Each structure stands twice: as structure tokens, then as C-alpha cells.
DNA sequence: CAGCATCCTGGGCGATACTG
DNA sequence: CAGTATCGCCCAGGATGCTG
């Protein structure tokens, strides 16, 4: 498999405190690192799907409507590589593979849940803001 | 400006509790909504940059290394549309425009900070996981 | 079933030139 | 200064066929 085709992957952040005048990369770098692994909606979907317990490849494919086989594989590999998800192969016939969140993955999922809460709390507000903005634009 | 070119924009999530067997969209939908607004690294960078207080267009352009003028504009418009950032024009010559986080934007920024904390806490672990994974692959 | 490799296309994004 | 409009490139990602 070719490298560097899925998300950025190449983020090397320099740790340490920020100083005034720094470019924002210094500050947003850690956030960017997060995005590098969960910034795509597929990653999120996989994490959420696996949160309830171990889940198989085809189950994921069925549960996450619209994902292509290719992207599911790619996403799983990346999450596995980052140690957010574990992959267990049962040498049966036909083969059976289960994916489950790791400790770190579980923790991440909890933070994502926080964001979910935020989104739900402000869903209406944001939607209204959009409508208002668009109306204002249309009015000229 | 053309519509629908920046991120997805078209997410209509159905609220309400989940039921077993639901596709994961139902559960991840709110998360996806979040990503629709802050899923790009540029959005994050802008939010973080504006977190310290009102900031001007050119300041943003300078602070966020690598962003194109086009993307900065697009990102700002979207954040403004969602009511996450406010835009204030001072009718001077030359014109002066200041961007600042709204209440909702500030709150979001706090959740992003949580994610940052998570990322920093596990940076080393994740990096090691990657190295191990790559090594295992290389070994065959 | 799980998943790798190949082909191919759309649109996201950078670069640039122009305006009030 | 703070944008907008236009052009063109590139690659993320969908579709698909092949294996163990």
C-alpha cells in the first residue's frame, strides 16, 4: 500500500510552552495531530461504531452507510497504527476479524462524546445562525 | 461565491435516541456536524488564533503559516455563518476588519482544548504505537 | 469473509490578478 | 487592507476485480 495518501500523517509537533508572536501552528499543533487521526468522518464513525464493543469488518461496512471498502480498510489501518483500535484475527474458515477500541481509543471516544454534547446543545442556535446569515446574503 | 465547495455543509441530522441496529450515522451525526464546521485544520487554526482576542484578516494570514488567501476567506465565512466567529468592520481608510470568537465559539474552543490535552497526554504513546506498527510491517 | 491493488474521476485547494 | 473571481492541478476517494 502506498504511503501518505490518507490524511496528513506527517505532523511533527514541537512540544513546549507558547510564546507571544508564535505562529498558531505551535498552539494548534496538538489539535492538528488529533485531526490527523480522527479528522475524517470515517474515522469518527468507526470509533463510534466500535465503542459498543468488538465489531467485525462486514458489520462495520454495513453499519457505516456509504463507506467504500477501500476507505474502511484504510481508516482501520490508520486507527490501528495509532493504537486507537485493536485488530484480532480468529484463524477460522471463513476468517473472522474483530476490531475493538483500545484504552486510548476509549478515552478519545469520551472526548468525542463531549463534542457531540456541545453539537447537540447548540444545534438549533447554529442552524438559526446559518439561516439568518443566508437570509441576510439573499437580501443583499 | 459558489456554494457547496467547502466541506459538506449539507448535514441534516435527525435528533432523538438511538436504537440497536441503527446505522452509526444516527450516533455519529452530531459529531459529523461538528466536523462540518471545525473538521478542517484551517478552521481549528482560525479558532485558536482568535481565542486570544479580536484579530484582523492580515494578522490571521501571517499567523497561520501556509494558508492561502482563498482558504482563509472561505474558512472565516463558514465560521461566521455558523455563528462561531463575529466579523466587525470599521469603516476607516484603509478598511479594518476584526474577527472574534462568539460565545458559542469560545465554548467550542474550550472543548478543542480538551482534545489538545488528550493529544498531548498520549502523544508519546501514539508515536510509539506507530513506530512499532511500522517496524512490524517492515519486518514482514 | 476480509482486504489488497488498480484504474479513474470530481472537486478541493493553491496561485494569481483585480477591486473598493 | 480586505477581500472576490478565475483558472488549473492534483490527489482523495469511489468502483471494482482478484486472493487466501
Chain C positions under 7 Å from a protein CB? Answer: 1-6, 11-17, 20
Q: Which pLDDT band, with edges at 50, 70 and 90, does A3 fall under?
A: very low
Contacts of A16 (CB under 8 A, 6+ apart): none
Q: Do A126 and B134 touch (CB under 8 A)?
A: no
User: What is the edge-to-edge ordering of all strands in the sheet holding B85-90?
Assistant: B55-56, B96-101, B85-90
* Strand C contact set, beta carbon < 7 A: A 1, 56-59, 69-70, 73, 76-77, 87, 89, 94-97; B 4-7, 40, 66-71, 94-95
Q: Do B129 and A31 touch (CB under 8 A)?
A: no
The Cα B140–Cα B137 span in angstroms is 5
Partnered with residue A136 across adjacent β-strands are: none
Nucleotide nearest to A99 (CA to C1'): C2
The per-residue pLDDT for range B5-43, each reduced to its tens digit, is 344 444 556 655 555 666 665 556 777 777 877 888 899
The per-residue pLDDT for range A112-138, each reduced to its tens digit, is 889 888 988 998 999 999 999 999 988
**CATH number at A24-139:** 1.10.10.10
Percent of chain A with pLDDT over 70: 79
**What pLDDT is attached to residue A19?**
57
pLDDT > 80? residue A83: yes
Give residue limits of the domains in chain A: 24-139
Reported pTM = 0.86
The Cα B121–Cα B123 span in angstroms is 6
> How confident is the model over A71-94, as a mean pLDDT?
97
Amino acid at each position: 500500500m502506498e504511503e501518505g495518501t490518507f490524511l496528513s500523517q506527517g505532523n511533527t509537533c514541537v512540544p513546549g510552552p507558547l510564546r507571544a508572536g508564535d505562529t498558531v501552528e505551535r498552539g494548534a499543533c496538538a489539535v492538528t495531530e488529533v485531526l490527523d487521526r480522527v479528522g475524517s468522518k470515517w474515522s469518527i464513525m468507526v470509533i463510534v461504531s466500535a465503542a459498543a464493543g468488538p465489531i467485525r469488518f462486514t458489520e462495520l461496512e454495513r453499519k457505516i452507510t456509504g463507506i467504500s471498502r477501500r476507505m474502511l480498510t484504510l481508516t482501520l489501518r490508520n486507527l490501528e497504527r495509532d493504537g486507537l483500535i485493536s485488530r484480532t484475527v480468529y484463524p477460522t474458515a471463513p476468517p473472522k476479524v474483530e476490531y475493538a477500541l483500545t484504552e486510548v481509543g476509549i478515552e478519545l471516544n469520551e472526548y468525542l462524546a463531549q463534542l457531540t454534547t456541545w453539537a447537540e446543545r447548540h444545534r438549533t442556535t447554529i442552524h438559526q445562525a446559518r439561516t439568518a446569515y443566508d437570509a441576510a446574503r439573499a437580501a443583499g
